[in-house]
Amino acid sequence: MTQHKKTIVTLISLSGLLVTTVILFEIMSQPSLSQLERIKKSGVLTVLTRSAPTTYYEGTNGPAGFEYDLASLFAKHIGVSATFKTPATFSQVLSDIQMGKADIAAAGITITEQRKKHLTFTPPYHEITEQIIYRTGTQRPEKTQDLSKGILEVVKGTSHADTLKKLKQIHPKLQWYTNDTLDTDGLLFLINQKLIDFTIADSNQITLIRRFYPQLHVAFDISPPRQLAWALQSSPDQSLYRASVKFFESIKQNKILEQLIDRHFGYAEKLNYATNCTFRQHIKSRLPYYQKIFESAAFEQGLDWRLIAAIGYQESHWRKNAISPTGVRGIMMLTRSTAKQLGFENRIKPENSIRGGALYFKQRLKRIPVSVPDPDRTWMALAAYNIGYGHLNDARILTKNQGDNPDKWLDVKKHLPLLSQKKWYQKTKYGYARGHEPVLYVEKVRNYYDLLTWLTEDNSIERQAMKTQTESSPQLDNEIAIINPAI
Q: In this structure, are residues 177 and 152 in contact, taking their beta carbons and an 8 Å threshold?
A: yes
Helices 350-367 & 376-387 angle (0-180, nearest 10): 120
Residues of the chain with pLDDT > 90: what percent?
68
- CATH class name, domain 36-127+228-266: alpha beta
- H/E element holding 233? strand 226-233
Q: Angle CA(252)–CA(380)–CA(336) in degrees, nearest 5?
A: 165
The pLDDT, as a whole number, for residue 452 is 92
CATH class of 130-224+463-477: alpha beta
Check residue 474 and give its pLDDT.
Answer: 58
Q: H or E stretch including 301?
A: helix 287-301
Q: Over the Cα atoms of the chain, what is R_g? A: 28
Out of 3.40.1030.10, 3.30.420.270, 1.10.530.10, 3.10.129.10, the CATH code matching 283-455 is 1.10.530.10
* DSSP conformational letter for 51: B
- Pairing state between β 104-110 and 44-48: parallel
| pLDDT tens-digit map of 317-375 | 999 998 887 778 899 999 989 999 999 988 899 999 999 999 999 999 999 999 999 88
Query: Catalytic pick from 67, 130, 153, 315?
Result: 315
pLDDT at 23: 47
The answer to whether 315 is a known catalytic residue is yes
DSSP β-ladder status, 81-85 and 44-48: parallel
Name the percent of the chain lying above pLDDT 70: 87
Listed residue (394, 386, 379) closest to 357, CA to CA = 386
| Helix runs in 54-183, H state only | 66-77, 90-98, 113-116, 159-170
The Cα 380–Cα 357 span in angstroms is 16
Q: What is the mean pLDDT of the chain?
A: 87
